[in-house]
Each structure stands twice: as C-alpha cells, then as structure tokens.
C-alpha cells in the first residue's frame, strides 16, 4: 500500500510539472539552465568528496587497527590500503570530471 501511494504521488507530481515544462518558451529555458548546471557541478564534486573522505577514513582506521593487532602484516596491509585509497580517490576524480563537463561542456550556451 505504501509503495502504491508513493508511486501515485510521484506520478501526480510529474503530471503537474509536465504542463509547466511544455508551456515554457523555447528560449526561456536556457536562462536558468546555466545556474542549475553550476549547482549540479558543485553538488557532484561536494558529494563525491564527502563520500571519498568517509571511505578513506574508514579504510585508514581499519588499516591502523589491523597493523596494531598484527605488526608483522603491516607491509601487506599498507600495500592493500594504498591500492584501496587509490580506488576511492578515483571516485572523486570522476566527480571532478563530471563537474568540469557540466561547467564547460554546456550545450545551452
């Protein structure tokens, strides 16, 4: 019942917004698009950095805990941690690339 209610409300919202979108002038939409792409670019890099920061903190905390429990395995843990941090950091770089595409690859300008 709850899913049906949520789906119904979403369809109602889309139906109400669709009329506004079709009634807009063709040139009027491009004026506000630039502001929304800048906002989307900022959100993309911000959320990407927050997620990566949380992931890196968790990974480094786990590596420190593992090294303190078993100091002989510190080298292997460090290697695995650095590879994991590179994978986590790549998500932030992808978010940066998407933000740059949104900012400078804007087809509406």
Q: Where are the domains of the chain?
A: 29-104
Q: How far is CA 30 from the centre of its chain?
A: 24
Per-residue pLDDT reduced to its tens digit, 33-58:
777 878 888 888 888 889 899 999 99
User: What six digits make up the tokens of 60?
Assistant: 């480094």
Decide if 40 contacts 100 (C-beta within 8 A).
no
pLDDT in the model for residue 30:
60
Question: Is 25's pLDDT higher than 70?
Answer: no
Alpha-carbon distance values, 46 to 4, 9, 29, 40, 51 (Å)? 34, 30, 26, 10, 9
pLDDT in the model for residue 56:
92
Q: What is the pTM of this model?
A: 0.60
Question: Is 9's pLDDT higher than 90?
Answer: no
Q: What is the CATH number of domain 29-104?
A: 1.20.20.10
């Amino acid at each position: 019942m709850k899913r049906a209610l949520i789906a119904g409300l979403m369809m109602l919202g889309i139906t109400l917004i669709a009329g506004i979108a079709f009634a807009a002038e063709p040139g009027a939409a491009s004026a506000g698009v630039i502001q929304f792409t800048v906002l989307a670019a900022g959100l993309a890099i911000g959320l990407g950095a927050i997620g990566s920061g949380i992931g890196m903190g968790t990974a480094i905390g786990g590596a420190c805990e593992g090294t303190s429990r078993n100091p002989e395995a510190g080298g292997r843990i460090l290697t695995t941690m650095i590879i994991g941090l590179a994978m986590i950091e790549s998500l932030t770089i992808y978010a940066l690339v998407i933000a740059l595409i949104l900012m400078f690859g804007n087809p509406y300008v």
